[in-house]
Amino acid sequence: MSSAMPVPLPEGEDERFTQALRKVVTTDERERYGIGMQKEKTVHAVLKYFEEPDEDCHEIPIGNYIADIYRDGQIIEIQTAQFYRMREKLSAFLPEYRVRIVHPIPYEKYITWIDPVTGKCGKRNRSPRRGSFYQAFQELYRIRSFLSDPNLSIELLLIDMEEYRLQDGWDRTGKRGSHRYDRIPVRIRESCFLTSPRDYMQLVPLDLPDTFTSADFARAAGCAKARVSTVMLLLTEMKVLERIGKKGRSYLYRVAESG
């Protein structure tokens, strides 16, 4: 079994990302607020400039919708979550345009808590969790009927982020049930492009046995058990994996011949 793993950004992309970050989060804003104060969320705005520095290509009306970016016959949509909201757009865009969905995933995250009354920022802490490309599968599953369309491609980005949260939760610490105020992307770690069903083989671990269960897949991939069922469902639907029977109460899988 072979697979091409996701790779770091090409040379020069880091500088392009830095320029996009500077465009959105100015020095004055960082010093004054600690976070960007744009009307649109900072991650979305930075990635829009990263993908297309020319503002003339931003927020372009196409039919009854507004495309985040339109350039040379291609639409680029920055989607941080809630992919189900894209179904109508995709139905309208894909018959006539190439569409790329850019989806950022927090990799390493530092959290700063904000007093909701004074606005003062508290201590900055690093989250013990690290993100992975498998986090995207829950969102991708919501648009699974479009994923085989030759006009659609997906760009997944693992990004280090600074997250700012209001300490307005319901428990004693104010953290449980709190609201996220904003996130600032600080570094892109890796990218993964999915342009056809075959590209999903990138996300199948190399060291799986010939037949395996979802638990085997989760261990090999470092994928959370709570997430692996959606991963297996989507990879099976994309005909990358196929079910071949059961082992006890667990389904058995193998890599499909098409994969």
Per-residue pLDDT at 30: 43
Cβ count within 10 A of residue 61: 9
Q: Locate tokens 């058995």: which residue?
A: 252
Residues 236-247: pLDDT tens digits? 999 999 999 998
Integer CA distances (angstroms), 62 to 20, 57, 72, 74, 84, in order: 25, 12, 13, 11, 19
Per-residue pLDDT at 6: 57
Residues 8-44: pLDDT tens digits? 555 567 888 888 988 888 644 444 344 444 455 899 9
The predicted model gives 223-227 an average pLDDT of 88
Per-residue pLDDT at 171: 84
Classified as helix, coil or strand, 227 is helix
The predicted model gives 51-77 an average pLDDT of 95
- All domains in the chain, ordered by first residue: 13-202 (no CATH), 204-259 (1.10.10.10)
Q: Are 103 and 155 in contact (CB under 8 A)?
A: yes
Helix (H) or strand (E) holding 194: strand 179-194
The secondary structure of residue 199, as a DSSP letter, is G
258 — pLDDT class (breaks 50, 70, 90): low
